[in-house]
Structure 1
Amino acid sequence: MQSVDSPFHSQGTRCAGTLLLPPRAKRPPVIVMAHGFGAIRAAGLYAFAERFVKAGYAVFLFDYRGFGDSEGEPRHWVSPRRHLQDWKAALVHVRKLPQVDASRLVLWGSSFSGGHVLQTAAEDGSVAAVIAQVPHVSGLASVSKVPLASLVKLSVAALRDVAGSLVGRPHYSRIVGKPGELAAMSSAESWDGYMALFPEGARWENKVLSRIFLELPLYSPGRFASRVKAPTLVVAGRQDSVTPPKAAQRAAARLPQGEFELLDSNHFQPYVDAMFEKNIGLQLSFLQRKVPVGA
């Protein structure tokens, strides 16, 4: 597998990107990947990318502005609007790469970015296929899983951040915590599942600008599902307490060329071990049917 450093710019800021190529391939289909809420491409995505490359696909992975190896200030700013801008910039960049076949471009997103790829595909209209893994499709559905007391505290933190940003004093909250702790994700599966994704020495901090908690309930990319022309695979987890599977299933039902798979898993198990093997098998089967290598 060949790895090529391939940065691009989004809104004038340099974003880190990596192009992975299968050996001896001539302009293979390309899968563009980015992570979910507050995560970086080094956190579990390479396991998927390696299997895609082994099957003959090129893969382009990138970090959002303000995260991982990308530039951008302030750091740790999760924002649907900014993330969608980064997705659009990444696609412009990938479509110019001579090593890949941009007419066979696949969007891959997980959790928060699982929603981003649905909205991006709806607005782009030229992608070949989409994979949305345990996707965030409904802000209200995701927020409904957060205890009311935590919602109130996170909303206060968001207002504090908005006010503080006016005088250069942003306020941060934790991305992930253990049950009972105040964080964006603190369900029973969240701490162990999220932290298990990060390799030792990863450039990541457990914090996010709190202003996201004002945006999160309003961000429902599933409403764009009916406008996604490309074949789309939605994979959900039956015991997912972060992004409810029923919301994902409803969004999948509105996709003109949608397929829905329900794993017997929580939100994080599809990234690892036996559930990863089942999950990646479903995704490779979908790709081989909809965007076959060498076609």
Structure 2
Amino acid sequence: MATDRKGRSAGSSAQSPLTSVASVLALPLAPLYGAFLSYFVFHPPRKRHHKTPSDLGIDSTDVMVPVGGKGRGIHLWLCPGDPERVVVMGHGLGLSKSASLAQAALLHQAGYTVALFDHRNHGRSLADRTFWNMSERHTDDVIAVVRYLRGRPEYAAARVAVYGFSISTFPSLYMLRRAAECPVDALLFDSGPAADLRPLWRNFLASGALPVPGPLRRGPSGRVLGKVFASLAVAMLRASWPPPVSGAYRSTPLLFLTGERDTIIPADGVRELARRYPLAEVRVLPGTPHLLGVKTHPEEYAATVLDFLQRTLKS
């Protein structure tokens, strides 16, 4: 069962009379706040890059990939390596591409060209105030970066993998629906995706990662807020999920890295999704929470990722 930051079950009835009264009084606000949060998760406050490739001794070039016109685009750090082996890397919700630098350093040291990008409404990429069809919009971000790289002469013949993290694992997998316009050779996923979308949002809310006033956290207000938030967040995606077992989903190698103690996108949901696809591999990292595999099991994590890429991106 999901717990809040103080270890109490979300929606638990074990609360003081005063807390219960406050939750009841706040009930009319719960649907409105749930709707606000569903917009908020796709348009979070921007976090500055806490590190850059140069901090890890990696040479890089800043690139703005045009998306949506009017000078807007997806910002990426292009870290040159082997021009025939390229890995495109996303990041988790509310973060930026700097959150993926540890994995980028691992790959760059192994000789790969690495391109880290900020999704829209994150980092230095475009601001997109819309709230509908978010699945396709975030998939557009991934595709724009891959197509940009394939359009450069030095990477025109490259074998390309896309590496998603947490929420970005979903558009990274979703992009195979458009493989005819943007083919890739392999996909890697850290901490996601899962077979069902709705539990993801409930778990994210229960993790304490979102700003929720006390009276709306538990009791009847907490239950209503959670239901509205999860329902609207799924609706805003407008995704046909899970993706079909056809076309590129049958022929593209997939690696799923998941943590045994991941309470946001649990390993069981990841395994359930992976079982659908014939070329999927799953590695469950013992005792590992969400997105922390590279820290909890650095050697196993590195060996798994590098072995998979060596097999799938070889010429």
When the two structures are superposed, what TM-score results if normalisation uses the length of structure 1?
0.70
How is 1:229-244 mapped onto 2 (pairs within 5 angstroms)? 229-244=251-266
Superposition pairs of residues 106-145 of structure 1, within 5 angstroms:
106-124=161-179, 126-137=183-194, 138-145=196-203
Q: Report SS of the residue matched to 1:6.
A: strand
Runs of 5+ unmatched residues, structure 2: 1-57, 218-227
Count of residues in correspondence between the two structures: 237
The residue type equivalent to 2:68 in the other structure is Q
From the two aligned structures, give the one with the greater helix fraction.
Answer: 2
Contact 1:139 1:216 in 2 (8 A): yes
Structure 1 unmatched ranges of 5 or more: 152-173, 184-209
1:38 and 2:38 are equivalent in the alignment: no
Q: Once the 2 structures are TM-superposed, how far is the Cα of residue 88 of structure 1 from its aligned partner? A: 1.8
Determine if contact 1:104/1:291 at 8 Å carries over to the other structure. yes
Q: Could you say which residue in structure 2 is the equivalent of 1:278? A: 300
Q: Are 2:123 and 1:105 equivalent residues in the alignment?
A: no
**2:138 counterpart (67, 78, 83):** 83
SS at match of 1:64: coil
8 Å Cα contact 2:64/2:76 also seen in 1 = yes
Residue 6 of structure 1 aligns with an amino acid whose one-letter code is V
- Counterpart for residue 263 of structure 1: 285
TM-score (norm 2): 0.66
Aligned-partner Cα distance in 2 for 1:230–1:41: 25
1:132 and 1:60 map into 2 onto residues whose CA distance is 16
Instruction: Detail structure 1 runs of 4+ shifted over 6 Å in the superposition.
Output: 75-78, 180-183, 210-213, 217-221
For 1:182 and 1:109, locate their aligned partners in 2 and report how far apart those are by CA, in whole Å.
32
Q: Percent identity?
A: 25
Q: Residues 267 and 94 of structure 1: is their aligned pair in 2 closer, same or farther, counting only changes over 3 Å?
A: same
Alignment check: 8 A CA contact 1:121 1:130 kept: no
Structure 1 residues 64, 212: closer, same or farther in 2, change over 3 A? Answer: farther
Change (3 A) 1:53 1:146: closer
Cα distance in structure 2, aligned partners of 1:250 and 1:127: 23
- Higher CA-based Rg: 2
CA contact (8 A) 1:66 1:77 kept: no
Q: How does 1:181-200 map to 2 (within 5 A)?
A: none
Separation in 1, partners of 2:215, 2:154: 46
Question: What letter matches 2:62 in structure 1?
Answer: D
RMSD: 3.2
Give the whole-Å Cα distance in 2 for the aligned partners of 1:255 and 1:87: 21
Does the Cα contact within 8 Å between 1:8 and 1:15 map onto a contact in 2? yes
- Is this contact kept in 2: 1:34–1:108, CA < 8 A? yes
Cα offset, 1:267, TM superposition: 0.7
Whole-angstrom distance in 2 between the partners of 1:289 and 1:51: 17
The offset of 1:41, in angstroms, is 0.3
Please tell me the residue identity of whatever aligns with 2:151: K
Partner of 2:242: 223
Code of the residue aligned with 1:224 in structure 2: it is P
Aligned AA (1:129): A
AA aligned opposite 1:133? D
* 1:61 equivalenced with 2:112 (yes/no): no
